[in-house]
Amino acid sequence: MRLDELTRPDFPILERVVNGHPLVYLDSAASSQRPRTVIEAMSQYYARSHANVHRSIHTLGEEATELYEAARDRVQRFIGAQHREEVIFTRGTTDGLSLLAETIGRTLRAGDEVLITELEHHSNIVPWQLATRDRGAVLKAVPLGDDGTLDLGAFERLLTRRTRVVAFAHVSNVLGTINPVAGMCARARQAGAFSVVDGAQATPHLSLDMSALDCDFYAFSAHKMLGPTGLGVLYGRRKVLEALEPGRGALDCDFYAFSAHKMLGPTGLGVLYGRRKVLEALEPGRGGSEMIKEVWIDRAQWNDLPWRFEPGTPPIAEAVGLSAAIEYLEKLGMDAVAEHERALTRQTLEGLAAIPGVRVYGPPASEARGAVVAFSVEGLHPHDVAALLDAEGIAVRAGHHCAMPLMRRLGVVGTSRASFSVFNSPEEVRHLLAAVGELRTAL
């Protein structure tokens, strides 16, 4: 049985009818959908076991802690991390990368360099801009070749003894390019730099093994891999993590913070109010609770790993949901997932390339690619493409995909992007191709 035939009944959202058509969801690169097991694991958790973790000495507190820490163990196995302490729960990929940029950032000195690439998501650009800016450090980017892959010769030239961090995406969220992670991490280590990998677009699609990739850090989001929003994972090699101090400092009393989970709402959500003037003048900063072992008025001793980097009540239900998502993916088998999505990607690339006036971006179909296809239709703005496809029940993403430097490199304001998950079918791709074929006469 084909993977989509097997999985479609598990995704309740696919029963939706949009604008009179059955939903064709081709936006999993932005956020995937959830199988019933994930939704049920989270509501079961809320209905039966919810309490705060780690410090609540009662049955529910213990159950919640057990479930939360079991999720960490499952993530450890799923990504092939050597130690459970190397798995840090965050609020998402952006949060994990920001945490790193803040933490490593305070150790940067004038003249140090951080090396990113031209194909990064804004989340792997802006935190490094903030980290380098005030310390006189320099941010550099590896250029992109015309074939949509990184210029590795330029990478070698840009990597010097001044380079402190090499930060790059495993899979491009626009082009689908799969970067040579293991090789780049090895070169970073030889140069004495931390390697930081943005894994947001890889974790739902590729079989992962941290010891084979041999990176120092690897960040990803639960909501892109059939799991809940509000939760991410930051993997860090234990040796490297142990040497780092938590980067998030004090709060400012011009702010007022509160949690949804203390007012009947979900975990993983909080509100931070700040006077606009104060907010505008300040850089982000955080800290407190689970990341601390002992506190005095003038100092604090940090907690052990991984909790040292998990301030505040963590997204517990979300961790339970992520655990269920991983279980679901593991049952399907990541090799089967990758194969299914490769077939859909190839079908889309070849189909779109055959439509007059349509341009596709990124490496050719014959190359290893992620499950995304960015394209443009001559004479149409990407947002109009997305809106016209939505009228056919087809959900695609359009715009700059949080990668404006890459858009500039491609010479476009934006693109439309179809992306795939386990439940997408060849019939849906045919539906997309037929609809795109009609677009040039639609406006």
Partner 1 sequence: MSATQAARGPYSDVIRERWRRPRFRGELPGAGAVAEDVNPLCGDRVRLMLALEGERVSAARFVGDSCAICAASADVLAELVVGRSRAEALRVGAADLLAVLQADIRPTRMRCVTLPLSVLATALNGKR
**Residues involved in catalysis:** 402
DSSP reduced 3-state for 276? helix
What's the DSSP call for residue 251? -
Tokens matching residue 44: 């079961």
Could you identify the residue written with the tokens 């390697």?
195
Binding to partner 1 (CB under 8 A) within 8-37 occurs at 19
Q: Which is nearer to partner 1, 62 or 390 (CB)?
A: 390
Tokens matching residue 187: 């070169």
Does position 133 interact with partner 1 (CB under 8 A)? The reply is no
295-318 burial, b if ≥16 CB within 10 A, otherwise e? eeeeeeeebebbbbbbbbbbbbbb
Contact status, residue 191 vs residue 178, Cβ threshold 8 Å: no
Shortest distance in whole angstroms from residue 434 CB to partner 1: 16
Q: Which is nearer to partner 1, 315 or 382 (CB)?
A: 382
Shortest distance in whole angstroms from residue 99 CB to partner 1: 24
Does position 61 interact with partner 1 (CB under 8 A)? The reply is no
SS (H, E, C) 17-54: EECCEECEECECCCCCCCCHHHHHHHHHHHHHHCCCCC
Tokens matching residue 143: 């250029």
Does position 82 interact with partner 1 (CB under 8 A)? The reply is no
Among 84, 189, 238, 400, interactor with partner 1 by CB under 8 A: 400
Q: Which is nearer to partner 1, 244 or 410 (CB)?
A: 410
Q: 381: closest CA among 357, 405, 415? A: 415
Interface pattern 355-394 for partner 1 (x via CB under 8 A): -------------------------xxxxx--xx-xx---
Does position 407 interact with partner 1 (CB under 8 A)? The reply is yes
Does position 257 interact with partner 1 (CB under 8 A)? The reply is no
- For residues 356 and 375, give the distance between their C-alpha atoms in angstroms, rounded to a whole number: 12
Shortest distance in whole angstroms from residue 442 CB to partner 1: 8
- Which of these ranges, 156-164, 240-248, 341-349, 395-403, lies near partner 1 under the rule CB under 8 A? 395-403
- For partner 1, the binding residues (CB under 8 A) are 19, 380-384, 387-388, 390-391, 398-400, 404, 407, 413-414, 442-443
